[in-house]
Amino acid sequence: DTEVTQTPKHLVMGMTNKKSLKCEQHMGHRAMYWYKQKAKKPPELMFVYSYEKLSINESVPSRFSPECPNSSLLNLHLHALQPEDSALYLCASSQWGFGNTIYFGEGSWLTVV
């Protein structure tokens, strides 16, 4: 199983809503990532978890709150988002260490209205 599964695939939320994006992998990877991608741009790293602990936060606003409940799951909690936060949110995973293949999910398309 070389799959990273993300849900939901599409999400529309208002600026006062609270929602969550979910990501799951069963490859035994101990590094998990959240990326944000705007149209026609490369992905931008948001967060990195290693061994269920947050190791990198790329100065992401607090309205995005990551959570890693166990080694297979990664959540991104969303609250009070702005329309400019509308983007494709990609989850990825890899073995921890240098030069490992990174596996991406299909992404969650988020629209903030």
Partner 1 sequence: KNEVEQSPQNLTAQEGEFITINCSYSVGISALHWLQQHPGGGIVSLFMLSSGKKKHGRLIATINIQEKHSSLHITASHPRDSAVYICATSGSARQLTFGSGTQLTVLP
**Shortest separation between residue 9's beta carbon and partner 1, angstroms:** 8
**Shortest separation between residue 21's beta carbon and partner 1, angstroms:** 13
**Identified binder of partner 1 from the candidate list 15, 54, 102, 113, rule CB under 8 A:** 102
Q: Does 73 bind partner 1 (CB under 8 A)?
A: no
**Identified binder of partner 1 from the candidate list 42, 53, 83, 84, rule CB under 8 A:** 42
Residue 71 to residue 27: CA distance in whole angstroms: 10
Amino acid at the residue 30: R
Amino acid at the residue 93: S
Residue 43 to residue 31: CA distance in whole angstroms: 17
Q: Does 106 bind partner 1 (CB under 8 A)?
A: yes
Residue 44 to residue 106: CA distance in whole angstroms: 16
Q: Does 23 bind partner 1 (CB under 8 A)?
A: no
* Segment interacting with partner 1, rule: CB under 8 A, options 17-25, 59-67, 68-76, 84-92: 84-92
Q: Are strands 31-37 and 87-94 parallel, antiparallel or unpaired?
A: antiparallel
Q: Does 62 bind partner 1 (CB under 8 A)?
A: no
Residue 83 to residue 3: CA distance in whole angstroms: 30
Q: Does 45 bind partner 1 (CB under 8 A)?
A: yes
